[in-house]
Structure 1
């Protein structure tokens, strides 16, 4: 309990340090940094730190990329509708602002009608998603929206079978295209199936455990769907875990909720996770999807984002 109180006291100090521009001094004292440095893993490389575009609520590409740059991110998972944004325009902006495109998530991935919710149509839709991701030049494209296409299945088991078959067909389609596919566990407020690490592994195995498919965990979603937030990380393991998403229990920045990020960080180090870590922060007044933000809300969003990013860097020792 004393350690936890100390963490929240230090979190409050860190928020003040960010506003005052004195984070570098705080970083050397923070208990998360001191403890995190005690765990070493010879497999461990440096995590790639990025953010996810939908959380900004910005449609204009210049506004989006400039705000990503302002916060200090160097990578972005792009979620713009592939029917709306020309891939060449997105790539041009990423180069202009020196922000790497890390991955693509279509976000808007539901069938137009219930009748359209079939295996065949889901695969056809996600082939377009993969093609667009390849145009963006990203190394990964997401698949978790496949669960929205199972509405006509008579049971949970049948729905999971459809998802597994779709992942198999899409992994076959993506072979030789120099891109990975990923499936994220999202809570029951967002998707019908695929909500836990156990379900991710079930889908992965049903698809034949393809080498070009990886899995994604999210701290916000795990806080809702899992019995604990450490065993899922170990269950998936560092080789299969491609990306990890960070937002606190209410989806805000680190320290706005009750998630133990020291334990999260150390568990990731223990399994040798060395890939994409995305901050998916949404402030209280704007969730879920209550965007765009007012100027005051954007200011708070930037503040929480900077704090979370810098705190994670502190734990990494960078």
Structure 2
């Protein structure tokens, strides 16, 4: 199997049909859908994907306030386990293969207990999630984030250690943006992940589309091909609004205009994401898939 290109949709709250049409028009292979099962009708989404020739690669958990697999409150952990299970079931219904799991609340940077206690809670919770993942045929991918968004998992080696304790086929999801901050050797981390690598998120060092920053995407693709990765590279740029006088944009949006409710508005604000004008978002999405296609064409071994 060859590496395919997908895109997240959490960065831009909009009707899922609009997102799917954009991805099909721009030449994407699939979507890694927002982990909000209650917001979608699985049958409707699968029908739209089939209609437009796309696949569901998987989903990403959105660990907003109240979702935390290592919270000191056992009831919060219980509810968070159920949330991850719901995401796994949702992806299974869409015919997807992975769910990217961030174990703790995004933006939580102060521990609630000792490292040993929190690690134990995470392992216990994820083992229960892993059991469900195996039942529904979807793989969990644990994602480390940068230190400014979480203190729990920041590097590939930490995620690998947690995946090993969880057991089964539990894997890791690596994100080039976070890796650029935390890894001393980004390419070496990809090699270390090996067959535990279940997902790969794409944004440049400035969290803009690939090619808009300083990362070497040809080298990254070569490394992914070298370890035999056969999943998707999932575009996840976070295009912040330039409110300065040097901006060339003719309109400025705001996170509150994008919809999705108070929790999503806060999530978007925390990630410096506003309602970027449609023309710019389209261009960023197009440039992303084109840059990745070029890197894949130049650095993938020919199929025999």
Q: What's the TM-score, normalizing by structure 2?
A: 0.79
Q: Which of 174, 189, 193 is the aligned partner of 1:232?
A: 189
Give a deviation string over 1:133-152, Cα, whole Å, max 9, x none.
222221222221x2229977
Q: Which of 23, 29, 39 is the aligned partner of 1:74?
A: 29
Aligned residue for 1:148, secondary structure, equals: coil
Structure 2 CA distance, aligned partners of 1:216 and 1:46? Answer: 18
Aligned residue for 1:282, secondary structure, equals: coil
Is 1:53 the equivalent of 2:9? yes
User: Which residue number in structure 2 is paired with residue 242 of structure 1?
Assistant: 198
The number of aligned residues is 269
Aligned residue for 1:206, secondary structure, equals: helix
Q: Structure 2 vs 1, CA of residues 88 and 307 (structure 1 numbering), >3 Å: closer, same or farther?
A: same
Q: Which has the higher contact order (CA 8 A, sep 6+)?
A: 1
Q: 1:271: Cα distance to partner?
A: 1.8
Give a deviation string over 1:146-180, Cα, whole Å, max 9, x none.
22299774123322221122111111223232221
User: Which residue number in structure 1 is paired with residue 245 of structure 2?
Assistant: none
Q: Which of 43, 49, 59 is the aligned partner of 1:94?
A: 49
Structure 2 CA distance, aligned partners of 1:199 and 1:117? Answer: 26
Moved more, 102-111 or 308-317: 308-317
User: Which residue number in structure 1 is paired with residue 154 of structure 2?
Assistant: 195
Q: Which consecutive segments of 4 or more residues in structure 1 shift more than 4 A?
A: 112-117, 149-152
Retained in 2: the 8 A contact 1:147–1:159?
no
Is 1:126 the equivalent of 2:84? yes
Question: 1:1-40 counterparts in 2 under 5 A?
Answer: none
User: Which residue number in structure 2 is paired with residue 20 of structure 1?
Assistant: none
Unaligned runs of at least 5 residues, structure 2: 243-267
Q: Which has the higher helix share?
A: 1
Aligned residue for 1:78, secondary structure, equals: strand
Unaligned runs of at least 5 residues, structure 1: 1-44
Retained in 1: the 8 A contact 2:30–2:55?
yes
Retained in 2: the 8 A contact 1:123–1:166?
yes
User: Which residue number in structure 1 is paired with residue 226 of structure 2?
Assistant: 270
Q: Structure 2 vs 1, CA of residues 289 and 89 (structure 1 numbering), >3 Å: closer, same or farther?
A: farther
**Rg: which structure is higher?**
1
Cα RMSD for the two superposed structures: 2.6
